[in-house]
Structure 1
Amino acid sequence: MCDHQLPENSGKEPVKPRTDEEKTAVLNRLKRIEGQVRGIQKMVENDRYCVDILVQISAINKAINKVGYSLMERHTHHCVADAIKKGEGEEAIDELMKVVQQFSK
């Protein structure tokens, strides 16, 4: 694993498990994105104009970023805040900063 990549599974558990509503909202967004990706595949198969495909890719990038920022916000409010309260803030902040850097590349 490169030092700029995060492990796929840190082995950590969330401080506050996601509610069913939170899971449903994130999963619905991801399913919508999955549908958009399938739509782009069909656009390529149908030899659609490059700019039309690029516009759809841009929309997917925005949608996936929105999901990521939502998860990052939740992580900060729950996991990082809890670590700070326990006196373990430095490690949690370092971890958050690594993921922010990775996310913004």
Structure 2
Amino acid sequence: MPRTQNQKILNRLARIEGHVQAIQRTIEADRSCPEVLMQIVAERAALKKVALILLEDFAEQRLADVMPSDNFKSERSDLFKALNLLS
């Protein structure tokens, strides 16, 4: 995985870690269930985005290894559109 991609993922994970700590503080402050759940849903979405970035990078590397360069951009675009439908 390219270094810049790694850094992007690490930055996202650091933000996620901060949000998890905020969830802990919210629970310690005995906040309402809907408030805590809303934060948890946001965290799940953030982790899902990290997984999608990893999967896209993996798929792009695999496509580049097995596909002629003239089809690569079109196939890559189609694959990423399909992956984004999952999110």
What TM-score, normalized by structure 2, do the two folds share? Answer: 0.71
- Give the counterpart of 2:17 among 28, 34, 40: 34
Q: Give identity over the alignment, percent.
A: 37
Q: Which residue in 2 is equivalent to 1:53? A: 36
| Counterpart-to-counterpart distance in 2, 1:21 and 1:77 | 15
Deviations 1:23-45 (A, max 9, x none): 11100000000100000001111
CA distance in 2, matches of 1:21, 1:59: 24
Structure 1 length-normalised TM: 0.59
Distance, in Å, in 2 between the alignment partners of 1:24 and 1:68 is 14
Inter-partner Cα distance in structure 2 for 1:19 and 1:73: 12
Instruction: Show structure 1 runs of 4+ deviating over 2 A.
Output: none
Gaps of 5+ in 2: 68-85
Work out the CA distance in 2 between the residues paired with 1:30 and 1:48: 25
- 2:60 is matched by which residue type in structure 1? H
